[in-house]
Structure 1
Amino acid sequence: MPLHLAVTELDALRARCDISGVHTVKDDPAYEPGAVVPSGQWQPLTESAARALASQPWTPPSTLVEIVRPARPHGGDLEDLAQQMGDNRAQYLGQALAKPDMLTTTDNYQDGRRIGLHLDNWDKLNYGQKTTGRRRLALNLGPGTRYIILGTLDAQAVCRAVHPTDYTRRYPYTDDYRAHVASGHPVRCLRIRIDPGEGYIAPTEYLLHDGSTEDQDKPSAMAFWLGHWHRGTLPSLV
């Protein structure tokens, strides 16, 4: 299923959310060949678009995006913070620091080039299992604001489009999105503001995503966990 957000106040979502298209990066040495990034032509999210993105009560938690206020660490170990956040078996992934004004933030550790919007692959899930993966919980440690960028088209839909004859035997991955966009198929993405002390829970194995500090003048660090959270475990900001 496509991107769905847990929303109780549409105006609160719209106040921190923009929408844009994407394109393939060309001739930019900072990015991998074929990387997909937002087009940069951000537009306010309309009320009708916000309603279309709002989840239903029966939306599986494993495919749901939540904008939340996690517990704030008070001198303790971030690895142990998951016990305060509803899944004491959550896996702590560490932190990532992003410089100011980065369109996307994730790089390939082997060569330093940014990979653009992508799928995670911690759980190594095939097409049929792709909706069952763990979600990523992220907490903005500051000092700056940043964004989570999310594609509105899910990994299963893209896999079916790119591999129509054998998609059930595939492992949906970033290259499927790259091929889909390079073929001229439109993909939309959301940019959701995450201030210091705020966070998100998102199915990053299932939805195209990356961080961004575009137009921000301060760096920001994010802490990440992987786990299984029930809907509404943490206080919602939207």
Structure 2
Amino acid sequence: MSLHIAAPAEALRRRCEATTVRTTSGECGYEDGAVVPSGPWQPLSDALFRRVMAPTTADTLIELVEATAIEPHVLNAPHVTRLGCADSPGLALTTTVNYPDSTRIGLHLDNWDKLNYRDKASGRRRLCVNLGPGTRYLLVCDIDIQAICRAVRPDYATCYPHTDDLRAYAAATLPMTCLRIRLAPGDGYVAPTEFLPHDGSTEDCAAPSSAAFWLGRWPRGAFGSRPVR
């Protein structure tokens, strides 16, 4: 299990839901083969809740943070890269767009660090802060890209993992659960987006929102000890 979320238990149950995934075909606004949540969203089962609650030894960790708890020096360290901001309309099942043709790509893997299969888990984590005005969600899957590549690529040991591998895995209807974690304005997350399939969503909120992003090598707890609610 590679998906580990650090948050108070009650906050995680209140903020988090789960569903299966599907691939798109001929759907307006989406690339064919994009992986998206199937719905309907359900509360976390007790078994899934226990699986995602982060142990103290987790190294591929998602942390939920509050923007007011982020100290300026944390964002100004030499290892940090500011990626900028993205605007998203409301009521979007997924938010990331392939800008050349404005189609949505669905759940995907980041590749800022250009890592091969062996090193993929060592990529920097991404910080995202919801600037509002609307609510956003982090979508994230419970399987990592190394496990996906082992399932779909004979040459996995020498490959450079790609979103196409995730799409092949989903098209084969192999086991995968998608979680969504609610982020109110001012909330954020730190996540290994090079390693776990993910995207943003504004599915249940009519208001648009903006998000700011950074990449860095932050240790667990770097963004303060104030728990999200």
TM-score (norm 1): 0.90
Query: Does structure 1 retain, via aligned residues, the 8 Å contact 2:74–2:223?
Result: no
User: Structure 1: which 5+ residue stretches go unaligned?
Assistant: 74-80
Q: Is the CA contact (8 Å cut-off) linking 2:69 and 2:223 kept in structure 1?
A: no
Partner amino acid, structure 2, of 1:6: A
**Higher strand content, 1 or 2:** 2
Measured after TM superposition, the shift of residue 88 of structure 1 is: 4.8
- The sequence identity of aligned pairs, in percent, is 51
Write the letter of the residue equivalent to 1:4: H
* Residue 96 (1) aligns with residue 86 (2): yes
Poorly superposed stretches of 4+, deviation over 2 Å: 70-73, 81-89
Q: 2:63 pairs with 52, 62, 66, which one?
A: 66
1:192 pairs, out of 168, 181, 188, with 181
**How many residues matched?**
227
Equivalence for 1:212: 201
Give 1:104 deviation, angstroms.
0.2
1:135 counterpart residue number: 125
The answer for the alignment partner of 1:77 in structure 2 is none
Letter in 2 for 1:124: K
The Cα RMSD (Å) is 1.7
Q: Rate the CA distance shift 1:35–1:155 in 2: closer, same or farther, 3 A.
A: same
* 1:121 equivalent in alignment to 2:111: yes
Code of the aligned partner of 1:52? R
Unaligned runs of 5+ in 2: none
In structure 1, what is the equivalent of residue 5 of structure 2? 5
Alpha-carbon separation, structure 2, partners of 1:72 and 1:90: 17
* 217 and 33 in structure 1: CA distance in 2 versus 1, 3 angstrom threshold: same
Q: 1:35 and 1:224 mapped to 2: Cα distance?
A: 23
Q: 2:144 aligns with which of 137, 154, 169?
A: 154
Q: State the partner residue of 1:83.
A: 73
Give the drift of 1:82.
5.3
* Distance (whole Å) between structure 1 residues aligned to residue 48 and residue 97 of structure 2: 31
> What is the aligned partner in structure 2 of residue 17 from structure 1?
16
Per-residue displacement from partner, 1:26-55 (whole Å, max 9, x unpaired)?
A: 111310110000002110012332111112
Query: Aligned letter for 1:65?
Result: I
Mapped to 2, the partners of 1:215 and 1:183 lie a distance apart of 29
The CA deviation at 1:183 is: 1.2
- Give me the whole-angstrom Cα distance separating, in 2, the residues matched to 1:82 and 1:213: 28
CA contact (8 A) 1:93 1:224 kept: yes
